[in-house]
Structure 1
Amino acid sequence: MTVSSDPMQWQVGLLGYGEVGRILAEDLRKQGIKVAAYDIKLEREQARPLREHADGIGVELAQSHADLAARADLIVSAVTASQAVPVAEACAPAIGKEAWFLDFNSASPGAKQRAASIIDGAGGRYVEGAVMTSLPPYRIKVPLLLGGRGARELAPLLVTLGFAAKVASDELGVSSAVKMCRSIMIKGLEAMVIESFTTARAYGVEDAVLASLKETFPSVDWEKQGAYFFQRVIEHGRRRAEELREVAETVRDAGLAPWSASGTAERQAWIADLADEGVFGVRGMPEFARSADWRTEADRILARLNAGSRKAPA
């Protein structure tokens, strides 16, 4: 397969058809770009919404990782962090010669280097991409840092497709290190807000706590920020927990004990467990819609704990 020099003629293959994959698919299809996708959920009962979305915007669904890799000029890997290397392994035998492999996953520098070795060794061209903030508000224009020896060649091609891509380094692992260090702060703040606000609610002191935070950080709307953090973790805690485990590995590789990253991973995973149990309602149902008041979700957590059937992590 020869990769066209005109990215508008490419077929883009999306590995993962979750929130990130669907948003990218929508924005690429609006430009007339050919898009194919594969997600392991297509083999499960929850495949129907994914298939309906793909059919609605004209995305072809591949039968496997290899099927997707065989037809794509550019593969965008947007799966959970723990799967970054396995999906590279699954794609490598079928990847086209000099086809691009853009790794969106929130994986450690070491994992990115292993994935790059697999793809480059199979004749593809691996580039790491670090997504630097939440994708939904920005969509395809989300700030994207590229790294690796092919980053400078791929960057202008991605810009043509609508991405806000810029090169961080020719050295593989630098972009992901930036992402990992940022996640210690951002995902950690989410976990701290949930822990602080829910505890304050249990003691009936939430108004005093928020007033104190407002005095210290007057530019932050803590009511609004609290609601946003609660819902992002409820909806994406599982993925965030996996990312924080990669962050913890990154911290260990630097020689530090990852106390904050590991604790954040546990809190995010715990909230994901509660969501899976239905504490916050059923995904896809109206009661699971984002609440304008974080207190609603804190009360659900406290009610579950008070029922005695689930304990918070020690």
Structure 2
Amino acid sequence: MQATQLGLIGYGEVGGIFCAGLAPHMAGVRAWDLKLADRAAAQPLRDRAARDGVVLCDSAAALCAGSTLVISAVTASSTVAVAREAAAHLRPDTVFLDLNSASPGAKREAAALIEAAGGHYVEAGVMTSVPPYGIRVPMLLGGPHAHALAARLAAWGMDAKAVSPELGVASAIKMCRSVMIKGLEALVIESYTAARAYGVEDYVLPTLQETFPSIDWTEQGRYFYSRVVQHGRRRAEEMREVANTVHEAGFEPWMAAATAQKQDWVAGLAAQGLFDGVQKAGGWQAYADRLIGHARKD
């Protein structure tokens, strides 16, 4: 089998993890990111690329010209735009693996662009947070080329399972799960913060523990707050795609839309510096106290 030349579009946290983890199995690894056009934003990316042996490209065209496998790992709202950009430059028979948290409709639109350009599109539903797992993060693959790619990825140590030759199925699984997981994050933040504002958290959390004894609600709360503070903007984008997914199924996405609003609100406060200096060791209460203080100032 011909050695694979990997091209990664979106050299952020996830992209960096995949580049570093897959490099030993590749003939070469390239990456391209819009941030490379900004000198200040580009420097951390250049430092990481130098450390991991990744060649940074100055355009999608340059990346696609030297890649036989292209992975798209960008923000959810950029899914189709990136596919359109890549389609203009793909080499024939290039495999395009779309990791983005987009709706089934968006994935089908992206697939049409890639396939029309002679590429082979595979959608992926990344089923949990990438950092703890690295390239072994559980992924569900979909589309007519999914089974063939799943075998290749497994040989490289990845946990990828083909679930359907029909495009949209893998994404639907991922997005319907996110209604629950990201929704639970938003619910916990709202419930815990309000409980602490009233001084009743020592009553509320034990009742949750009694009802759902398998969950450590104190530690889960800390984790949820920290993840939303760190990645709320990205999560909000995903939840807007989740809302699109629900809407594409014929339902009003009230819960998904509200979750996106909550995630965006926390992310906005984080960007303003509200949580600067908060130590994770302080538990969920440290984050809640900042939110309470902010509300009382208003």
TM-score (norm 2): 0.96
In 1, Cα distance between equivalents of 2:282 and 2:214: 19
* Cα shift at 1:33: 5.2
In 1, Cα distance between equivalents of 2:289 and 2:250: 39
- Matched residue, 2:99: 104
Contact 2:5 2:26 in 1 (8 A): no
* Cα shift at 1:34: 2.1
Q: Of residues 279, 284, 291 in structure 2, which corresponds to 1:301?
A: 291
Deviates more, 1:21-30 or 1:129-138: 21-30
Asked whether 1:227 is paired with 2:217, we answer no
In 2, Cα distance between equivalents of 1:77 and 1:65: 11
In 2, Cα distance between equivalents of 1:288 and 1:129: 34
* Cα shift at 1:47: 1.7
Contact 1:76 1:101 in 2 (8 A): yes
Gaps of 5+ in 2: none
Distance 1:291 1:241, change over 3 A: farther
Structure 1 vs Structure 2 CA RMSD = 1.3
What SS does structure 1 have at the residue aligned with 2:231?
helix
What SS does structure 1 have at the residue aligned with 2:131?
helix
What SS does structure 1 have at the residue aligned with 2:88?
helix
What SS does structure 2 have at the residue aligned with 1:171?
coil
What are the residue-to-residue correspondences of 1:87-236 with 2, within 5 Å?
A: 87-236=82-231
* Cα shift at 1:266: 0.3
| Matched letter for residue 142 of structure 1 | V
In 1, Cα distance between equivalents of 2:76 and 2:261: 15
In 2, Cα distance between equivalents of 1:128 and 1:82: 15
Contact 2:30 2:54 in 1 (8 A): yes
What SS does structure 1 have at the residue aligned with 2:47?
helix
Distance 1:289 1:42, change over 3 A: farther
- Matched residue, 1:77: 72
What SS does structure 1 have at the residue aligned with 2:118?
coil
Percent sequence identity over aligned pairs: 54
In 1, Cα distance between equivalents of 2:274 and 2:106: 34
Gaps of 5+ in 1: 282-286, 309-314
What SS does structure 2 have at the residue aligned with 1:136?
coil
What are the residue-to-residue correspondences of 1:282-293 with 2, within 5 Å?
A: 287=277, 290-293=280-283
- Matched residue, 1:251: 246
Deviates more, 1:133-142 or 1:78-87: 133-142
- Matched residue, 2:36: 42
In 1, Cα distance between equivalents of 2:27 and 2:182: 33
In 1, Cα distance between equivalents of 2:147 and 2:45: 33
Deviations 1:51-81 (A, max 9, x none): 1111111111110122211111111111111
